[in-house]
Amino acid sequence: MSNESTRVTSLQTKVTHLALLMVAVLTTACVTPLSVRRHQTVGLTDARATTILSNFSNVVFTADTPNDFACTTGFNNPPQITDMMPAIYPRSGAVGTYAATANFNSAAAATAILGTPGYVKVVNNISWCSQPGANIIGCSPTPGTSMAVVRWTAALEGILWAHEFGHTVGLPHRNNVNAIMNPFIVPTALEVTAGECVSFVSRAINNPFNTSGIVTGDPAPGMAEKELVFERVHEFELAKGTDVVDFVHQTYVHGTPTHLAARFEGTKNAQTLAAMLGDTREYEHAGNIVYTLGVIGSSRDVSHVTKWLDTEQSREADWTTVQRVNAGMLALAHLANRTGSPDAIDYLVKSALVSYRGKTNPEIEDALADSAAVGLAMVGTKNSLVLLDQVYSKNESVGRKTSPIPFEELVDLNLDIQELGIDGYYAP
Ligand SMILES: [Zn+2]
C-alpha cells in the first residue's frame, strides 16, 4: 500500500471512530453541543475550552452534595431510572473567532457581540450588563441565544459558563451559596434543582421536547438578539454578618452590586477600604475594593482612588488593566455624583481623552478612555454632559482606532441618573 493510501485508510478509520463516538455519546447522554467563539485577541485553545465545558457538564449532571439534583434525564414520562442520561455540553467544532469588538462595555457592544454567530462568546472585558458595572465576568440575556464571559480563574470557569448558560435558558438567580445560579461564585456553587435541570436540558439536540429551534452547536447562522433582557445583579441579599472585607472578597458574576455596597456607608469602612487599596496582598480584589470605596466614600477618598488609578495606568496596559481601571473610573463617578468633587470630574475628563494616552495598543487605550467616558456620563449632572460632549468632539478631531460608545447611549445614561439619582438608578 502506498503512503498516501495508508494515510487515507488511517483517516477513514479516525472518521469512523469519531462517528461511532458521536453515536455512543448521543445514545448515552443528553447532549447540548455549544459553539465557542473568542475575540481574536482572547487566548483560548480548543483543549482549554474542552476542559471548561467538561467541568461545566460535571457540575450540572453530578450530584455534588446531598441537596444537589443530578441533572440526568431519560425524556420519558415518567422517566425510567434505567435510561437516565447525564446532561453534557460538548464543544461543537473548533473554537472560532467572532467578528465584533473585544470590549463588552455598552448596550451597543452587547447587541453586536451577542448578535454574531456562535453560542459562547469569550470577550476581553465586560463593563456593562443592562447598566454600566464594575468587575463583571459574565453577562447573558435571559433567555437568549448567546452568552458572554471573560477568561477567569481556571478552577471556577466551568461554573461561570454553566451559570451564564443557565441565564440563556431563562433561569433567574437563586440565593444560595451552593447554587450554580447564585449571584456570586464560590467553589461550592455546584447545585441545581430538578426544576433548573429541566431548563438546563431544554436545548439538548436529543430532547424530543426541544422545540426552541435554537441551534446551540452551529456557528454558521447569525443568532441576532431581538430584545435583550438581562438578569439583574441586584436581587439578592447579603448573608448575615457579612462585613465590608467579606463583601469585597466575593466574586460577583454581574459586577459589584451597587446597592449592597452602599450598605457599608460610614467613615470606618471607607478607611478600611482605603487601606486595603494600597495593600498588594489585596491585588485580586482591588476592583471590588475601589468600586465600593467610590460608592461609600467621601470627597477625601477621591485622592485615594486617583492615586490608585495612576499606579494602575502607569503599568503597560492589558485587558486586566482595563477591567480594574474601569472599576476605578466608576468609583470616581459615584464620588463626583455625591460630593461634586472637581478633582474627580477633572480626572474623568482627562482620562476620557484618547490623546491623553500613548499609542502602544490603541484598542486598549480606547477601552480605558471609554470607561472614563462612561464614568463622566454617570456623574449624572447637566455639567458632566456638557463636558462629555466636549470630550467626544476632541476625540473625534484627533481620530480613534476603534468606535466609541455611541454618544446617544451615554446621554440616556446621564439623563437617567439626573432623573433618578445614582442610588435610584442602581436600586433593585
Ligand atoms: Zn447571573
Contact 18, 74 (CB under 8 A): no
Task: Report d(CA 298, CA 382) in Å as an integer.
Answer: 21
Helix axes 319-339, 286-296, angle to 10 degrees: 10
Helix axes 407-425, 382-398, angle to 10 degrees: 150
Q: Ligand 1 mean position to 242 CA, how many Å? A: 20
Q: Do residue 18 and residue 164 come from a single domain?
A: yes
Q: Ligand 1 mean position to 85 CA, how many Å? A: 26
Q: Residue 234's closest CA among 318, 300, 168, 173? A: 173
Q: Do residue 267 and residue 151 come from a single domain?
A: no
- The number of distinct structural domains making up the chain is 2
H or E element, residue 85: strand 85-88
Alpha-carbon separation of residue 45 from 33, 114, 137 (angstroms): 17, 21, 19
DSSP class of 125 = E
Q: Ligand 1 mean position to 279 CA, how many Å? A: 30
Rg of the Cα atoms in the chain: 23
Q: Do residue 54 and residue 195 come from a single domain?
A: yes
Q: Ligand 1 mean position to 173 CA, how many Å? A: 6
Task: Report d(CA 46, CA 38) in Å as an integer.
Answer: 11
CATH of the domain at 132: 3.40.390
Task: Report d(CA 330, CA 259) in Å as an integer.
Answer: 14
Q: Is residue 314 part of a domain?
A: yes
Q: Ligand 1 mean position to 314 CA, how many Å? A: 33
Q: Ligand 1 mean position to 354 CA, how many Å? A: 33
Cis bond before residue 143 (omega within 30° of 0): yes
* Residue 18 pLDDT greater than 50, yes or no: no
The predicted-structure confidence for 306-324, as pLDDT tens digits, reads as follows 999 999 988 888 899 999 9
Q: Ligand 1 mean position to 426 CA, how many Å? A: 16
The predicted-structure confidence for 173-219, as pLDDT tens digits, reads as follows 998 889 999 988 888 888 999 999 999 999 999 888 888 888 899 77
Strand partners, 5: none
DSSP class of 239 = P
Q: Ligand 1 mean position to 184 CA, how many Å? A: 8
Q: Ligand 1 mean position to 181 CA, how many Å? A: 6
Q: Do residue 45 and residue 181 come from a single domain?
A: yes
Q: Is residue 218 part of a domain?
A: no
Quick one: pLDDT at residue 161? 98
Dig out the grid coordinates for 25 from the structure.
Answer: 455519546
Dig out the grid coordinates for 220 from the structure.
Answer: 454558521
Side by side, the strands of the sheet bearing 30-31 are 30-31, 85-88, 72-73
Q: How many percent of the chain have pLDDT more than 70?
A: 88
* Strand pairing class (103-104; 72-73): unpaired
Task: Report d(CA 56, CA 53) in Å as an integer.
Answer: 5
Average pLDDT score over residue span 344-371: 88
Q: Ligand 1 mean position to 167 CA, how many Å? A: 7
Which of 144, 176, 200 is the C-terminal boundary of a domain? 200
Quick one: pLDDT at residue 2? 46
Q: Is residue 205 part of a domain?
A: no
Q: Is residue 37 part of a domain?
A: yes
Q: Do residue 181 and residue 297 come from a single domain?
A: no
Q: Is residue 251 part of a domain?
A: yes
Q: Do residue 249 and residue 313 come from a single domain?
A: yes
* Residue 9 pLDDT greater than 80, yes or no: no
Quick one: pLDDT at residue 279? 95
For the chain, the 3-state helix, strand and coil shares in percent, each to the nearest 5, are 50, 10, 40
Q: Is residue 239 part of a domain?
A: no
DSSP class of 186 = -
Q: Ligand 1 mean position to 172 CA, how many Å? A: 7
Q: Is residue 8 part of a domain?
A: yes
Q: Ligand 1 mean position to 5 CA, how many Å? A: 52
Which of 184, 200, 216 is the C-terminal boundary of a domain? 200
Which of 178, 200, 222 is the C-terminal boundary of a domain? 200
Q: Is residue 238 part of a domain?
A: no
Q: Do residue 195 and residue 249 come from a single domain?
A: no
Q: Ligand 1 mean position to 413 CA, how many Å? A: 22
Average pLDDT score over residue span 362-383: 95
Q: Ligand 1 mean position to 221 CA, how many Å? A: 26
Residue 295 falls in which region: left (phi positive, over 0), alpha (psi -120 to 50) or beta:
alpha
Q: Ligand 1 mean position to 183 CA, how many Å? A: 5
Hunting for cell 455534588 — which residue is that?
Answer: 64
Q: Ligand 1 mean position to 229 CA, how many Å? A: 12
Q: Do residue 192 and residue 307 come from a single domain?
A: no
3-state secondary structure of 34: strand
Quick one: pLDDT at residue 75? 74
* Residue 16 pLDDT greater than 50, yes or no: no
Q: Do residue 257 and residue 195 come from a single domain?
A: no
Out of 4-8, 24-28, 97-101, least confident range: 4-8
Average pLDDT score over residue span 161-181: 93
* Strand pairing class (120-123; 36-38): parallel
DSSP class of 317 = P
Residue with more model confidence, 13 or 361: 361
Q: Do residue 193 and residue 249 come from a single domain?
A: no
Task: Report d(CA 426, CA 293) in Å as an integer.
Answer: 16
Q: Do residue 143 and residue 21 come from a single domain?
A: yes
**Environment class of residue 281 by beta-carbon count within 10 Å: exposed (0-12), middle (13-18) or buried (19+)?**
exposed
Quick one: pLDDT at residue 213? 86
CATH of the domain at 306: 1.25.10
Contact 290, 371 (CB under 8 A): no
The predicted-structure confidence for 224-251, as pLDDT tens digits, reads as follows 666 778 876 556 778 888 999 999 999 9
Q: Do residue 167 and residue 259 come from a single domain?
A: no
Q: Ligand 1 mean position to 251 CA, how many Å? A: 11
Dig out the grid coordinates for 24 from the structure.
Answer: 455512543
Identity at 386, one-letter amino acid code: V
Domain hosting 47: range is 3-200
Quick one: pLDDT at residue 11? 47
* Residue 222 pLDDT greater than 60, yes or no: no
At 229, phi and psi to the nearest 5? -120, 125
3-state secondary structure of 366: helix
The predicted-structure confidence for 137-159, as pLDDT tens digits, reads as follows 999 999 999 999 999 988 899 99
Average pLDDT score over residue span 349-362: 81
* Mean pLDDT of the chain, nearest integer: 89
Alpha-carbon separation of residue 214 from 75, 171, 196, 199, 222 (angstroms): 19, 16, 19, 14, 11
Average pLDDT score over residue span 343-351: 97
pTM score, two decimals? 0.91
Identity at 119, one-letter amino acid code: Y
* Residue 293 pLDDT greater than 60, yes or no: yes
